[in-house]
Amino acid sequence: MFDYSLVHWTTFLGAALLLNLSPGPDIAFILGQTVRRGRRAGFAAMGGVWAGTLVHVFFASVGLAAILVASATAFTVVKWAGAAYLVYLGVMAWRSSGRLVLSDQAEAPLSGLKLMQQGIGVSLLNPKVAIFFLAFLPQFVVDGAGPQWAQLALHGLLVIAVAAVVEPPLVVLGSRLTQTWRDQPRVGQWLDRCLGSVFVSLGIRLALQEPGV
């Protein structure tokens, strides 16, 4: 079981690396929370995004994601829910006071659990993630290498494993930037406005997304 060639692993891991490095709502949320609230907040946000991605992997493995692709109604409902959530996060960032809270040194306004919940929401309410996994993972299913669902689950989990290698260093680097901007509300406000604008633009882009695109 799970007998793959070196070419298979090289191709898959290269694609998974590019996937995790590509900009999107997940990375924007993780880095935004890291820079604004510090390393612990970044790791909490990252854990939430991973949990949401794990659910997408499960759906793809058992075939439930196919429903999202086949049903225009289901796609539209999830799409608008995700777009509204991203715009909501953007508006909340715009309304923020802008003061950076370094969660490694002071109590942050948002708890780690709350940030994890937001990260799960950002990941789950993005139908493009479900569609991507449904289109991406089957390409690496090999006849005779094991049950299809098991191969899909394995490769989906490995995508998250690659994220576990790529994203923590980004969180650490982002947290160091906060040391330069500590107690500078003007800089914090600028960061909040930029982060809010990113989320609103991502929400609008998601709202304009069509099934199968």
- Quote the pLDDT of residue 97: 55
Q: Say what percent of the chain tops pLDDT 90.
A: 15
Percent of the chain with pLDDT over 70: 73
**Which range (96-105, 127-136, 201-210) has the least confidence?**
96-105
User: How far is residue 123 CA from its own chain's centroid?
Assistant: 5
| Identity of residue 164 | A
Q: How far apart are CA 200 and CA 185, in angstroms?
A: 22
Tokens describing residue 126: 């993005």
Please count the other Cβ atoms lying within 10 Å of the Cβ belonging to residue 9: 12
**CB-side exposure of 184: number of CA atoms within 13 Å?**
11
pLDDT of residue 59: 85
The CA distances from residue 205 to 53, 82, 93, 200, 208, in Å, are: 20, 11, 18, 9, 5
Task: For residue 191, give every residue at least 6 positions away whose Cβ sits within 8 Å of its Cβ, in sequence order, or none.
Answer: 32, 35, 36, 98, 100, 181
CA angle at residue 120 from 119 to 124, to 5 degrees? 120
Residue 49: pLDDT over 90: yes
- What is the C-alpha to C-alpha distance for residues 26 and 39, in angstroms, rounded to an integer? 16
pLDDT tens digits, residue range 11-28? 889 888 887 877 678 888
Mean pLDDT calculated for residue range 77-82: 74
Residue showing tokens 């049950």: 147
Supply the pLDDT for residue 88.
Answer: 78
**Structural domain boundaries in the chain:** 6-63+100-181
For Cα atoms 26, 115, 190, give the angle at the middle one, nearest 5 degrees: 70
- Measured CA to CA, the distance from residue 186 to residue 206 in angstroms comes to 30
* Spatial separation of the C-alpha atoms in residues 149 and 63, rounded to whole Å: 8
Instruction: Give the tokens for residue 148.
Output: 């299809």
pLDDT at position 192, please? 65
Burial class (CB in 10 A: 0-12, 13-18, 19+), 121: buried
CA distance linking residue 66 with residue 82, whole number of Å: 18
pLDDT above 70: residue 181:
no
pLDDT at 187: 59
- The confidence score (pLDDT) of residue 104 equals 42
Q: Are 103 and 38 spatial neighbours (Cβ–Cβ below 8 Å)?
A: yes
